[in-house]
Amino acid sequence: MAHFQLPTRIVVHARDVENITGYMPRTARKLLQKIRKTFGKPPGAMVTVKEFSAYTGLEESLITSFLRL
C-alpha cells in the first residue's frame, strides 16, 4: 500500500499570519486586507501562499513549513 503525503495548504488565513509574524489578530487581518487590495482582490477573497510571499518578502518554503504545524 502506497503512503500518500497530504498536500500543504495554498491559502493563508489570519491565524497563520499570527503564527508566522507574531502579529495580534486584528493586525493579521489588516495585513491580509492590504494584500488583497494590492493584488486587486475583492474583500474576503482568499490569499495564497504565493501572494503572501510576494508581499512580505518571505520565502514560500518558509511559509509552507508554518502551515504544516
In this prediction, residue 36 carries a pLDDT of 98
Per-residue model confidence as pLDDT tens for the chain (69 residues): 566 666 678 999 999 999 999 999 999 999 999 999 999 999 999 999 999 999 999 999 999 999 875
User: Is 63 within the bounds of a domain?
Assistant: yes
Number of domains the chain is built from: 1
In contact, 2 and 14? CB cutoff 8 Å: no
Q: Which three cell numbers stand for residue 20?
A: 508566522
pTM: 0.86
In a domain, 5, yes or no: no
C-alpha separations of 32 from 4, 41, 57 in Å: 31, 11, 14
Is residue 32 a part of any domain in this protein? yes
Per DSSP, the three-state class of 11 is strand
Residue 9's pLDDT is: 86
Q: Answer yes or no: is 4 within a domain.
A: no
Q: How far apart are CA 35 and CA 17, in angstroms?
A: 12
Domain assignment present for 29: yes
Beta carbons within 8 Å of 64's beta carbon, 6+ residues apart:
8, 49
